[in-house]
Chains A and B, each alone.
Chain A
Amino acid sequence: MKKDMDKQRKIRAVTGFALLVIAAVILFILSLASGSSRITADTVFGVLTGRITDQSAHRIIMDIRMPRALSALILGGGLSVSGFLLQSFFRNPIAGPFVLGISSGAKLTVALIMITSLRYGFAMNSWMMIGAAFAGALLCMMTVLLFSGKVRNMAQLVISGVMIGYICSALTDLAVTFADDANIVNLHNWSKGSFSGADWQDIRVMSVMIFAAFILTFLLSKPIGAYQLGEAYAENMGVNIRSFRVFLILLSSILSATVTAFAGPVSFVGIAVPHLMKGMFGTSKPVILIPAAFLGGGVFCMGCDLIARMLFAPQELSVSTVTAVFGAPVVIWIMLHRAKERSMS
């Protein structure tokens, strides 16, 4: 009977990953095929296989749609893993980079550096954006940590995070108000969250950052699993708590900072996707959940981006609008599920 359970779990994991990969491939191709100019599936395959190289379709697919789909995949994955890290770290099911104000902090510093660069006329590059976002993310993370030491209650922690988020957003709005007219539109689009506008150089930079952080996170699977029982038990199992905590803070900050630098703040992915994956895989084991959260985040964001582009085409929605529509119900579901569980025990 015990063996059966193990086998069942294995089958469930393999099926889960297979489904995610299939969904990712389908959504990726759909992203390439859909948009304001009509491109047939046949043309898409033609471009991908190198059969078609000279038409405008080639340019649209390779220079606009593919970078956009890739950035949704990579950044969505990063966002979701960072959410999983924060949930493990705070032992709080609704922790996430957006809820805790970390995304907003990154947004503020990125907006500030953007405005300064435009005013003083120096060129921005991806690394500067990431650096600024990281500084903002870390600053907010530290503030939240300061509060978390004082508040034991998970609702209070979230409230303090949301408040930090509001403060950062208000400051961002203030900065935008005083920026030159021409910049506002640009900044405004980005500050609502969007996967558009990435070029291949951006894709290279974000891949390096996100994949490096992802691999390091994956290598921490074992101590993260121990940490799920709480700090004291983890310590007794042989986890060096001090350095583990530092690692976790840095990794989740790097992940959410990179995402924010390229896509602006994207809401609810960090909370919703890890929970959806826990439900799908029936476990919270980090070895399974970290790659699952990454793939799931990518699929979720590609899907949401597709909807954002297509629903009212040619008018585009901000991706956060769509992620909120699908993500917020998940948070409510988590609450109800927890309440039910509590009443059962």
Chain B
Amino acid sequence: MINKDQKNKASSLHTDSLGAGYGKKVIVDGITISISAGEICTLIGPNGAGKSTVLKTIAGQLPAASGKVFLCGDELAGLKEKDVARRLSVMLTGRLTTDRMTCFDVAATGRYPYTGTFGILGDHDREVVHEALKLTGADHLCDTDFNRISDGQRQSVMLARAIAQEPEIMLLDEPTSFLDTGHKLHLLTLLRRLAKERNIAVVQSLHELDLAQKFSDSVVCIHNGKAERYGTPEEIFSGDYINTLYEIKDGRYNTYYGAAEPDGIKGEPEVFVIGGGGAGIPVYRRLYREGIPFAAGVLHENDVEYPVASALASVVISEKAFEPISDEAVNRALAIMEKCKDVICTTENFGTMNAGNLKLRDKGL
């Protein structure tokens, strides 16, 4: 008991078997997570699983259906609106339209919990807002109308707004939606740095699994009405779990590459591809597009091509990692090659380990 209390104190954000939903309809139940200052926790899960609902409940915008939320050790339900606002800021998904507000005005709304009755900004408030805008690289947009900037710039301004609120916890609902790859990377790098430098605990939801894997300290998987798994990215992105989480039916998610591959063309292979080292990948993709079943080999299990080949080829002849290609594998490959109409060799480089493939090429071509 004492131990648990201490943990609550140490972590900026803690939820205790939290249930999130609308009214009596509970959408996600039993969420118990702890996030310390400087850490990023990412919620992943299929569309409609309830990631936004969980974030809204943590932010206090929806009442908790069950369980508790603790912000810096204090229970959310017992805090005044203003105290919540000083501890927690949000960045929501969706486009914001404003009316005659400059980017500075928008970012300055973050100072709300600190200003007086009429919300007049003091010198210190201005300083904080400018600093926040500088941090997100949006300082030059200060006097520009918020409606006239790009989506990437909008996210920078909204992030500056969330920072200007000087929170200890930041909640971001799909901060990368609407952004191109470059801006996605920029935003998450910034967030990573912010969390560390300002000691902010960040909770976000992301659709980009590869980015979730790279930028999170912990990952919560929302699925089937519960926090199905909660752990480090290394724990979550291993084995076959992501396919289960997203109920992937038409392919497989490769956790090493952070990319999904479709199911390959089934059937008797018509083409045999001798690949290795990455040169075969374009050929595999081409054959997949043409709808031609093919065999690939002999590939080492640690070859860069191996995951793509095993996703797309109907047969893959493989060899154990770091072992020279055995005669047995070559013979298996030959047996299949004989039935194929075509043989394509994509590699020019043959060394000790793939000497077997040279034999294959000589026989095949």
Task: Using CB atoms and an 8 Å cutoff, list the residues of chain A in contact with chain B.
Answer: 2, 5, 93, 219, 221-222, 225-226, 228-230, 232-233, 235-240, 278, 282-285, 287, 341, 344-345
Contacts and interface: CB of A to CB of B under 8 A. Distances in A.
Contacts of A232: 56, 61, 90, 92
B133 to A, nearest CB: 10
A239 B88 CA distance: 14
A229 B119 CA distance: 15
A278 B100 CA distance: 8
Nearest to B90: A236
A280 to B, nearest CB: 11
Given A5-B142, A238-B82, A222 B115 contact: yes
B101 A238 contact: no
A345 B119 contact: no
B59 A236 contact: yes
B232 to A, nearest CB: 29
Contacts of A345: 147-150
Interface in B134-189: 142-143, 147-150, 165
Contact of A222 (B60, B112, B130): B112
Contacts of A240: 81
B248 interface: no
B333 interface: no
Contacts of A226: 109, 112, 119
A222 B311 CA distance: 58
Contacts, number: 85
B117 interface: yes
A236 B89 CA distance: 6
Contacts of B110: 237
A202 B88 CA distance: 50
Contact of B143 (A5, A235, A283, A341): A5
Interface in B72-98: 80-82, 84-86, 88-90, 92, 96, 98
B113 A238 contact: yes
A238 B100 contact: no
Contacts of B89: 236
Contact of B61 (A236, A278, A341): A236
B103 to A, nearest CB: 12
A162 B25 CA distance: 36
A5 B84 CA distance: 32
A12 to B, nearest CB: 12
B104 to A, nearest CB: 8
8 contacts: A222-B115, A225-B109, A232-B92, A237-B113, A237-B165, A238-B82, A238-B85, A283-B100
B317 interface: no
Interface string B21-63: 0000000000000000000000000000000000010011100
Contacts of B256: none
A226 B147 CA distance: 17
B59 to A, nearest CB: 6
Nearest to A241: B61
Contacts of A230: 92, 96
A235 B101 contact: no
Given A93-B99, A232-B61, A238 B119 contact: no
Nearest to A281: B100
B131 interface: no
A238 B84 contact: yes
A235 B118 contact: no
Nearest to A285: B105
Given A2-B142, A345-B149, A284 B118 contact: no
B92 A233 contact: yes
Given A222-B117, A236-B61, A341-B147, 9 more contacts: A2-B142, A222-B119, A230-B92, A232-B61, A236-B90, A237-B110, A237-B165, A344-B147, A345-B148
A174 to B, nearest CB: 39
Contact of B112 (A93, A238, A285, A344): A238
Contacts of B101: 228, 283-284
B120 interface: yes
B119 A239 contact: no
